[in-house]
Structure 1
């Protein structure tokens, strides 16, 4: 029963993380890390799949090993997020909503600045990563 709940939570977190790729205010990284942690406790097969998935796997492995997030990913995340927040503030008719919109943006910006930036020159070859 416990494993089933971890797998359900992992799947929900994974879906939210994937949505976060396209929705700038929804954070991707924390949800993907949560999905990884849930799958690690609920299903070795799902955890293995997530960690070796073509697009998300290297990203997760770099973060979990403490190597960081690529600079390009940080810049893109900040640019898209702040563009979206600024446009939303322009169109939202409620003053209180306009005032509150930058709050998650500031939190995500602080989070991204605090995470280490991946040094591409220190990156091991892809075949070496897959063997680990």
Structure 2
């Protein structure tokens, strides 16, 4: 069952901030699409970020992305608090740790390595224990 798109929150009043958020939404969407083809670039967080940006900057594009045949159900379920499917959670955590592990070999600064590890651990904990798992079937 495809969930219906959620109504967009109130659009930002300041036109300059609204345009900036809109541009950042498109940047996030493009990064998410690139992430489909590049294994080290995560798709899901960028698509969710694009939806959040469009929600505050463009009701038209928010409706488009939340009703998209591929990403719409995931976005709508996430924004409604129903969570993400197990497959999306496993993929997000796997790609997160692959990219962090790869980056740890490149970066030589200890504080940067520790910050990346702490961030990856925090995101993993959030995805596993705080983010609801979508019940399918």
**TM-score, normalised via structure 1 length:** 0.69
Q: Deviations over 1:7-43 (max 9, x none)?
A: 22322333344456646576843x4344323323332
Q: Deviations over 1:31-74 (max 9, x none)?
A: 43443233233322211111111222111011011111111111
Does 2:80 match 1:46? no
Q: Distance in 2 between matches of 1:6 and 1:86?
A: 31
Decide whether the 8 Å contact of 2:96 with 2:120 is kept in 1. Answer: yes
Query: What secondary structure does 2:91 align onto?
Result: helix
**How many positions carry a matched residue from both structures?**
119
Aligned match for 2:131, one of 109, 115, 125: 115
| Alpha carbons of structure 1 residues 38 and 84: separation in structure 2 relative to 1, 3 Å | closer
Higher relative contact order (CA 8 A, sep 6+): 2
Decide whether the 8 Å contact of 2:22 with 2:57 is kept in 1. Answer: yes
Q: Which runs of 5+ in 2 are unaligned?
A: 1-13
1:92 aligned partner:
106
**TM-score, normalised via structure 2 length:** 0.67
RMSD across aligned C-alpha pairs, in angstroms?
Answer: 2.8
2:30 aligned partner:
15
Does 2:95 match 1:80? yes
Q: Which runs of 5+ in 1 are unaligned?
A: 122-132
Q: Distance in 1 between matches of 2:115 and 2:60?
A: 41
